[in-house]
Structure 1
Amino acid sequence: MGSLTRTQRQRAVQFSLYGLFVLLIVLFWVVSDKEAIRANFFLAEGFTETWQDFVFIGAKNTILYTVIAFVGGFVLAMVLVLMKLAPVAPFRWLATAYIELFRGLPALVVILFMAFGVPIAFGWRPPGGPVGAGLVGLMLVSAAYMAETIRAGIEAVPKGQTEAARSLGMNGGWTMATVVMPQALRIVIPPLTNELVILIKDTSLLFVIGMAANEKELTTMARDFMSSGPSAGTATSLTFAALLYLAITLPLTRVVAWLERRQNRSR
C-alpha cells in the first residue's frame, strides 16, 4: 500500500471495514439459532395483538411526558440563567448551587425523591400523582443541563451586539430580551434538541413509580407485557418498545445533525 495515495488508502481501509462488518453479519446469521431468536424477540403475536396499546398508549404517553418535561425544564432553565447572570450575588450562588446539584444527581434518584421522599417528608405530592411527581423530577434535572446550554449560547453571542444595543439607549434587561437571547437560542437549538432526545429516553425511568393502565409509557408497557399477554415469557415486548423508541428518536437525531451542519456553514 506504500504506492497508494492517501485518499486511496482511506478508501481501502473503509472497504475493509465494510467487508468485516458484512462478514460478521453473515457469520452471525450462519451460527445463530434463528428460531430461538424469532420466538424470543420477534414473536408475531407480540406485535399483532399489542400494537394498539404500544402506539396509542405507550408511545403517546412517552411523547406527552417528554413535551411536558421539556417545556417545564426550559422555563425553569431560563429562570436559572437569568439568576446566574444577575448582578445580585446571592442569586448567582443559588443558581450555581442548583445547577451543580441536579447535574450531579442521577435522574432516577431525583424521580424517586419527588415521588416518595417529598410526600413522606412534607406530606405534599405534586399534581398528577406519581406521574406528575416523576415529571417534576425530570424537569428539575433537565433544567440544570439546559441552563448551562443556554448560558453557553449567551456567552457565544458577540459582545459587540450588546455594546451596540446599549449605545442605542437600550437598558440591560431589554438588550438581553430582544438582542442577546434570540441569538443565543438560535445558537443552542441543536444541543437543546439533543436534550429533547435524552428526555425521550429518560421517560423510561418513570417505570419505577407505578402507573395506571392509561398512564404507561413504552418501557412500563413492555415490562408488563413480558409477564402477561400474548408475548409473556419472551423479550418481544422489549423489542417492540425499542423499535418505537428508535422511530421517535432517530428523526430527531437527524434533525440535530442537519442543524449543526447548517450552523457550521453559516459560520
Structure 2
Amino acid sequence: MVALLSSLKPTARQRVGRLSSYLVGIIFVVLVIVVADWPTIAKQFANPEVAAKMWPGIVTIALRNTLLYTIASFILGSLLGILLAVLKVAGGPLGWFAIGFIELFRGIPALLTIFAFAFVVPIAFNVQVPGGAVGAGILGLTVVTGAYTAEIIRSGIEAVSPGQREAARSLGMTSGQTMFWIILPQGLRIVIPPMTNEFVMLLKDSSLLFIAGATVQSKELTTFARDSLSQTANATPLMMAALLYLLVTLPLTWLVGRLEKRLDPKR
C-alpha cells in the first residue's frame, strides 16, 4: 500500500488523502448516529417544554443585552484603540504609555480585567463605576478591546504607502493633519475585516460579564442560559444560547470572508 502511494503523483496522493479523510469522517458520523441514545439526548438537550419557559426572555432580554453590551464595548474600544494606535506610531513618552497600556491589557485575561473594574477599582479608590455592574463590565471589555484593536489599527496605519505622507507634506499639511485626514482613513479601510472579526470575538467575550454580577433584566445570553440550567437541571438552555450565538456570529464570519476578498488588492 505504501509503495502504491509512493508511485502516485503528488496531486493524486493529495486526492487520495482527502478521500480518506472524508471516508473516516463519514464512518465517524454514522457510528455516532447509530450508537447515540437519541431519546435521552432530545430530553436533555432539546426539551421543548424547557425551551418554552425561556421564551421570549432569552431573546428580548438575554440576546438584546448581549448585542447592546457588545456594540457599546466595540464602539468605545475602537475609539480607544485609534487613540492608542496613533500615540504608539507617533512615539515619544505618550507612545511608551500606549505600548505599556496595550501590552498590559493584552497580557491579562479579559475576565480579570472585568473583575478589576467591578471590584478592585471601587474598593481601592472608593469610587463607583457609572452603570454599576453592567457599567464596570462594559468598561472592562472596552479596555481589552482598545488594547487589541490598537494593534490592528496600527498595522493598518503602517500599511499605508509612505508616498501618501510625502504627498500630504508637499501640500503643506502638518503631521497631525496628515494622520487624521490622509493616513488614518486609509488605514481604517484596510483593517475592516480584522475589526469585524474582533467584533465577533467580543460578542463571545461578553459572556464574561457574569463575573461582575447581573440583575434579572441585565443578564446577557450565557448568564441567562446558565441560570436557567440551574433552575431546570436541563441543558436545553445552553443549546438555545449556542444557537443564538451562531445566529449572530455565522453571518458576521461570512461577512469577514467577503470583505477580505473584496478588499484584497491582488484580486
Alpha-carbon separation, structure 2, partners of 1:165 and 1:46: 63
Indicate the larger mover: 161-170 or 150-159: 161-170
Structure 2 residue 230 is the aligned partner of structure 1 residue 227: yes
Report the 3-state secondary structure (helix = DSSP H, G, I; strand = E; otherwise coil) of the residue aligned with 2:173.
Answer: coil
Per-residue deviation, 1:253: 0.9
List gaps (5 residues or longer) in structure 2. Answer: none
Report the 3-state secondary structure (helix = DSSP H, G, I; strand = E; otherwise coil) of the residue aligned with 2:172.
Answer: coil
Alpha-carbon separation, structure 1, partners of 2:133 and 2:183: 39
What do residues 58-87 of structure 1 show as CA deviations (whole Å, max 9, x unaligned)?
A: 111101100000001011111112222335
Give the equivalent residue in structure 1 for 2:73.
69
Alpha-carbon separation, structure 1, partners of 2:201 and 2:68: 14
Give the equivalent residue in structure 2 for 1:241.
241
Per-residue deviation, 1:170: 1.5
List gaps (5 residues or longer) in structure 1. Answer: none
Alignment map for 1:98-247 (pairs within 5 Å): 98-228=101-231, 232-247=232-247
Give the equivalent residue in structure 1 for 2:46.
42
Per-residue deviation, 1:13: 2.4
Give the equivalent residue in structure 1 for 2:58.
54
Report the 3-state secondary structure (helix = DSSP H, G, I; strand = E; otherwise coil) of the residue aligned with 1:125.
Answer: coil
The residue type equivalent to 2:255 in the other structure is: V
Alpha-carbon separation, structure 2, partners of 1:2 and 1:235: 49
Indicate the larger mover: 120-129 or 61-70: 120-129
**Which of 90, 93, 108 lines up with 1:90 in the alignment?**
93
Report the 3-state secondary structure (helix = DSSP H, G, I; strand = E; otherwise coil) of the residue aligned with 2:20.
Answer: helix
Give the equivalent residue in structure 2 for 1:32.
36
Alpha-carbon separation, structure 2, partners of 1:77 and 1:133: 19
Alpha-carbon separation, structure 2, partners of 1:204 and 1:162: 42
What do residues 132-170 of structure 1 show as CA deviations (whole Å, max 9, x unaligned)?
A: 001100001110010011011111111111111111211
What do residues 93-124 of structure 1 show as CA deviations (whole Å, max 9, x unaligned)?
A: 11111011001100000100100111111121
Give the aligned length: 263
Poorly superposed stretches of 4+, deviation over 3 Å: 1-9
The residue type equivalent to 1:200 in the other structure is: L
Indicate the larger mover: 21-30 or 101-110: 21-30
Per-residue deviation, 1:90: 1.2
Alpha-carbon separation, structure 1, partners of 2:239 and 2:207: 14
Alpha-carbon separation, structure 2, partners of 1:30 and 1:236: 22
What do residues 218-239 of structure 1 show as CA deviations (whole Å, max 9, x unaligned)?
A: 10100110122xxx11111111
Alpha-carbon separation, structure 1, partners of 2:87 and 2:226: 41
TM-score norm. by structure 1 comes to 0.94
CA RMSD of the aligned region, Å? 1.5
The residue type equivalent to 2:261 in the other structure is: R
Report the 3-state secondary structure (helix = DSSP H, G, I; strand = E; otherwise coil) of the residue aligned with 1:82.
Answer: helix
Taking only the aligned residue pairs, the percentage that are identical comes to 51
